[in-house]
Amino acid sequence: MTVLLIALGAALGAPLRYLTDRAVQARHDSLFPWGTFTVNVAGSALLGFLAALPASGGPMAFAGTGLCGALTTYSTFGYETLRLAEDGARFYAVLNAAASVAGGLGAAYCGMALAQAFTG
């Protein structure tokens, strides 16, 4: 049953990642990969929120592992960062690496704080 919940969450997260990435990137005329940055930070915030809730088992398999796992993308982050460096946009490569790590950790912390505020 757990594997099915993970698959269902991933079936929702993967297209959501793709559509969000394309929608955000289409609005920016920049070398910086805003779409990937957005989904990774949003997914980190959601996972931080979920991790702070008294939820486990099925809900965490669906939302935490499935949805957030498919919504966020470390491989694309790595690829885009290397591509920026190889194309001579080293400033954007370093900015992407630093902002993605800081943004993801900060978003996870904010998500946890928000959940703790709701659950008291």
- Domain range list for the chain: 2-119
pTM: 0.93
The answer to whether 69 is a known ligand-binding residue is yes
Q: Write out pLDDT tens, residues 33-92.
A: 999 999 999 999 999 999 999 878 999 999 999 999 999 999 999 999 999 999 999 999
Inter-CA distances, 117 with 105, 112, 113, Å: 18, 9, 6
> 72 φ, ψ to 5°?
-90, 160
The answer to whether 72 is a known ligand-binding residue is yes
Residue type, 73: T
